[in-house]
Amino acid sequence: MELPASALSDEPLRVILHNPLAERLSSLAGLDKRSRALLATDAFGELIAASGKPADYFQADEMWWQHTFAGGKGQAYISSVVPSEDTGVPVIMLAVPIVDEANRVVGTVREKLDVDWLTAPLEAMSGELHATGVIYDVTSRKTAASVSREAPTRAVEQAFLQSVGDAASSEGVPHQRGLWRVVLGEPVIGAAVVPFDLRLVGHQGHALTPRWVVIIGKAAQDAMVPVYTLGLTVLVIGLGLILVLFV
């Protein structure tokens, strides 16, 4: 059920926004400068608390809630980049089940983060390397987030797909060594699976997470500049030694 266009102080919205749990969620939402929204539901998907006015009361029909409640078994859930249900802006959902002393799922808590949670570190990393940064979603087979530099995002994505083959599974990129690809005339890329620390998921260690691969790509001519510079330096030193020793 969608919330009416009412004032934040109106009932029953006031009850959801002004209770001890809602106050705690509001405190968590203000931890840093990132835009985030938190809410909590009961075991039936009914909203019981929120850090701000949500889109609707009933959450049990939402994919994030169904994955988190998991038929009463409960599991942590991290979405890929998805459109927000109320604004359509790209966001990431993080949710965990609430369990009682008997380990029964009695509710859920969800946090909704703006996509800059991903793009900020990607921007910093790709900026330092003057390269294009891509987070590729293996499940949906498309780019979840990207920061474009010299090499076009699509070219970097295609270079990665050619490297791991048609399956393009996360298993195609070794967890320890990652993957490097250098092909004449194509972007030079490095790729590695994004790991999720499952020690943090809590309830029985079950979690549903996206299958992301981070890819850094650089136009071949730019990536090879240090090599060309080194080669030229060696050539000059070699010529200098020849002149000194034999002329």
* Rounded CA separation 52/23 (Å): 10
Mean of pLDDT values over 6-13:
62
Cα separation of 183 and 161, whole Å?
Answer: 13
| pLDDT at residue number 8 | 47
What pLDDT does 239 receive? 53
- 16 vs 166: CA distance, rounded Å: 48
- CA distances from residue 204 to 50, 73, 197 in whole angstroms, order as listed: 26, 9, 14
- State percent of the chain over pLDDT 90: 26
78's CB contacts (< 8 A; 6+ apart) are: 92, 93, 94, 196, 207, 208, 209, 210
User: At residue 190, does pLDDT exceed 90?
Assistant: no
| Higher-scoring residue by pLDDT: 35, 178 | 35
**Looking at residues 109-124, what average pLDDT do you find?**
86
Residue 105 φ/ψ region, left for φ over 0, alpha for ψ in the -120 to 50 degree band, beta for the rest: beta
State percent of the chain over pLDDT 70: 71
From 12-26, 100-114, 115-129, 231-245, the region with the lowest mean pLDDT: 231-245
Measured distance CA(13)–CA(81) in Å, rounded: 28
What pLDDT band is residue 97 in, cutting at 50, 70 and 90? very high
Q: What is the pLDDT of residue 1?
A: 47
Predicted confidence band of residue 238 (pLDDT cuts 50, 70, 90) = very low
- Token code pair at residue 219: 């136009």
Best-predicted range by mean pLDDT among 23-32, 40-49, 109-118, 225-234?
Answer: 40-49
What is the predicted pLDDT for the residue at 227? 47
Return the pLDDT at 142: 86
The model's pLDDT over 119-177, given as tens digits with 9 standing for 90+, comes to 888 888 777 777 888 888 988 888 888 887 666 778 778 877 777 764 455 455 545 45
pLDDT of residue 50: 93
Instruction: Examine the pLDDT at 69 and tell me if it is beyond 50.
Output: yes
Quote the Cα angle for 205-59-108, to 5°. Answer: 30
